[in-house]
């Protein structure tokens, strides 16, 4: 083969295999098991690859878990003596120290309370005087973001045993929800909007120091906007109406592309700017989605998914690019998944592998 012929062969091979030119690596796929029931849901992952969520037992109860290296650890619940104490729990997030937050019921008849799980023990964070509480996220310093609920819904940050309420945009503190907190203490969520939107919709909100920032909406026709995550650069992702968005200080709220359908959620973002969530296809099917550099990718096309499975939504991504979320199994049940990037040979390595046999044959002819 001549050098020109070799260059043409490389070109047409790449043209015939678009994945070789894509910036998205292939992923290995792990189905997260259950505690004997049919359902598991993965909701968070830290940089050590520890996954948290909840899974069903053979009975109707569900408990939070930590999943790592193929092993599922049962976190139990705040109740200690079933059936009088509940063991149900739901793990939402985990930091690099292995601290887990989520919700559990202290008794079978009580509302849910936020919990902090560490060193094999689950701590009830209380409700700050309200009926129930939900812990959504925890940062590396152990600060926890969440919300309480009774006659109102109020966002909070919990640190060192103390609750700090976060005011709504409208300033009435009747409705605010905190969904994420970064290591600087910046919190993302949503709250009642200021007039003229008061009580008519909610607005994506960023709490940063003493600031309460209204992140706006993509369109005035949207009934509301919701922020779901914030990274260390204070870049926020969420949904406006039914459209996913990314928000930055310099550009404001910018819509993210879909995959042929009419809706999606941007749920999590890492410090490298990779965003995950879900988007609908033209037929309405929801698929786990990765956004990179403003382009949407259906993760089902890049993962070694088992036959009959569909990755329906992604919930979190760590700095290594590992992704967790929920898949639909062939029997129609929800199952948690873990995707891990598989390093591919660089284009130079690929080209050398392709060229070597030709060069070797040419050398043999000259000997």
Q: What is the per-residue pLDDT across 307-363, written as a single tens digit (0 to 9) for each?
A: 999 999 999 999 999 999 999 999 999 999 999 999 866 444 444 444 444 444 444
Q: How confident is the model at residue 194 (pLDDT cuts 50, 70, 90)?
A: low
**Which domain CATH number covers 356?**
2.130.10.150
What is the number of residues in the chain?
A: 367
User: What interhelical angle do 347-366 and 3-16 show, nearest 10?
Assistant: 150
The answer, yes or no, to whether residue 85 has pLDDT greater than 70, is no
Q: Which residues, at least 6 apart from 271, have a Cβ–Cβ distance to it below 8 Å? A: 231, 232, 233, 319
pLDDT of residue 18: 46
Beta bridge pairs of residue 73: 66
Longest dimension (CA), the chain: 88
Looking at 39-53, 148-162, 246-260, 269-283, which range is the least confident one?
Answer: 148-162
pLDDT of residue 197: 53
Assess contact for 179 and 228: CB atoms under 8 A: yes
pLDDT of residue 108: 74
Q: How confident is the model at residue 217 (pLDDT cuts 50, 70, 90)?
A: very high
**How many CB atoms are located within 10 Å of the residue 299 CB?**
24
pLDDT of residue 360: 43
pLDDT of residue 221: 82
Calculate the average pLDDT of the chain.
Answer: 87
The answer, yes or no, to whether residue 84 has pLDDT greater than 60, is no
Q: What is the per-residue pLDDT across 42-52, written as a single tens digit (0 to 9) for each?
A: 999 999 999 99
Structural domains of the chain, count: 1
pLDDT of residue 148: 96
Residue percentage of the chain with pLDDT more than 70 = 83
The answer, yes or no, to whether residue 293 has pLDDT greater than 70, is yes
Q: How far is 92 from 69, CA to CA, in rounded Å? A: 19
The answer, yes or no, to whether residue 106 has pLDDT greater than 90, is no
Joined together, the tokens standing for residue 299 give 């993760």
Q: Among 80, 29, 77, which Cα is nearest to 57's?
A: 77
Joined together, the tokens standing for residue 76 give 């139990």
The residue assigned the tokens 């650890």 is: 73
DSSP 195-255: TTSTTT-EEEEEEETTEEEE---S-TTSS-EEEEEE-TT--EEEEETTEEEEEETTTEEEE
Residue percentage of the chain with pLDDT more than 90 = 73
Q: What is the per-residue pLDDT across 9-58, written as a single tens digit (0 to 9) for each?
A: 433 433 444 444 457 889 999 999 999 999 999 999 999 999 999 999 99
The answer, yes or no, to whether residue 87 has pLDDT greater than 50, is yes
Please state the rounded mean pLDDT for residues 71-86.
Answer: 75
The answer, yes or no, to whether residue 229 has pLDDT greater than 60, is yes
Q: Which range marks the domain in which residue 271 is found?
A: 3-366
């Amino acid at each position: 083969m001549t050098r020109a012929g070799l260059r043409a062969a490389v070109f047409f091979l790449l043209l015939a295999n678009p994945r070789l030119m894509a910036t998205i690596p292939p992923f290995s796929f792990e189905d997260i098991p259950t505690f004997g029931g049919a359902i598991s849901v993965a909701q968070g992952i830290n940089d050590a690859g520890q996954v948290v969520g909840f899974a069903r037992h053979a009975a109707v109860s569900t408990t939070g878990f930590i999943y790592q290296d193929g092993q599922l650890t049962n976190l139990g619940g705040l109740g200690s003596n079933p059936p009088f104490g509940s063991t149900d729990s739901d793990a939402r997030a985990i930091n690099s120290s292995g601290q887990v937050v989520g919700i559990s019921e202290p008794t079978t008849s009580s509302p849910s309370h936020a919990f902090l799980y560490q060193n094999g023990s689950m701590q009830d964070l209380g409700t700050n005087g309200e009926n129930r509480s939900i812990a959504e996220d925890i940062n590396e310093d152990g600060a926890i973001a969440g919300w309480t609920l009774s006659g109102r819904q109020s966002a909070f940050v919990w640190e060192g045993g103390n609750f700090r309420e976060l005011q709504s945009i409208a300033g009435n503190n009747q409705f605010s929800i905190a969904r994420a907190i970064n290591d600087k203490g910046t919190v993302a969520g949503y709250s009642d909007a200021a007039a003229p939107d008061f009580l008519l919709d909610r607005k994506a909100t960023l709490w940063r120091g003493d600031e309460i920032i209204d992140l706006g909406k993509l369109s005035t026709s949207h009934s509301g906007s919701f922020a779901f995550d914030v990274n260390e650069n204070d870049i926020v992702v969420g949904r406006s109406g039914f459209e996913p968005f990314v928000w930055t200080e310099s550009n404001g709220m910018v819509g993210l592309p879909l995959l042929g359908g009419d809706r999606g959620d941007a749920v999590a973002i890492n410090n490298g700017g990779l965003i995950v969530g879900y988007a609908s296809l033209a037929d309405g099917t929801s698929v786990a989605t990765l956004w990179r550099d403003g382009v949407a990718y259906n993760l089902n096309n890049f993962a070694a998914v088992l036959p009959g499975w569909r990755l329906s939504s992604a919930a979190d991504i760590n700095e290594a690019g590992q992704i967790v979320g929920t898949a639909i199994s062939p029997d129609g049940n929800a199952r948690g998944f873990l995707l891990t990037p598989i390093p591919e040979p660089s284009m130079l390595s690929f080209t050398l592998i392709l060229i070597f046999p030709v060069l070797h044959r040419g050398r043999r002819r000259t000997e």
